[in-house]
Amino acid sequence: MTESPSGQPVVLLVEDDGLLLMEASDTLAEAGFTVLEASHADKALKVLENRDDVGVLMTDVDMPQGSMDGFALARLVAHRWPAIPVLVVSGMGTPGPYDMPDGARFIPKPYEPTTLVRTLQAFIHRAA
CATH label of the domain that carries residue 49: 3.40.50.2300
The answer to whether residue 123 sits within a structural domain is no
The answer to whether residue 100 sits within a structural domain is yes
**What would the pLDDT profile of 90-128 be if each residue is shown by its tens digit?**
998 889 989 999 999 999 999 999 999 999 988 888 776
Q: Is the pLDDT confidence value at 2 over 60?
A: no
Q: What are phi and psi of 15, to 5 degrees?
A: -150, 130
Does the pTM of the predicted model rise above 0.85? yes
Asked if 106 contacts 100 with a C-beta cutoff of 8 angstroms, the reply is: yes
The answer to whether residue 127 sits within a structural domain is no
User: Which pLDDT value is given to residue 5?
Assistant: 53
Neighbours of 19 (CB within 10 A): 8
User: Which pLDDT value is given to residue 6?
Assistant: 57
What is the side-by-side strand order in the sheet with 34-38? 34-38, 10-14, 54-60, 86-90, 105-108
The answer to whether residue 126 sits within a structural domain is no
**What would the pLDDT profile of 32-76 be if each residue is shown by its tens digit?**
999 999 999 999 999 999 999 999 999 999 988 878 999 999 999
Neighbours of 1 (CB within 10 A): 14
The answer to whether residue 102 sits within a structural domain is yes
Q: Look up the domain containing 55 and give its range.
A: 19-111
Which band of pLDDT confidence, cut at 50, 70 and 90, is reported for residue 81?
very high
Number of folded domains that form the chain = 1
The answer to whether residue 85 sits within a structural domain is yes
The answer to whether residue 6 sits within a structural domain is no
User: Which pLDDT value is given to residue 66?
Assistant: 79
Asked if 4 contacts 34 with a C-beta cutoff of 8 angstroms, the reply is: yes
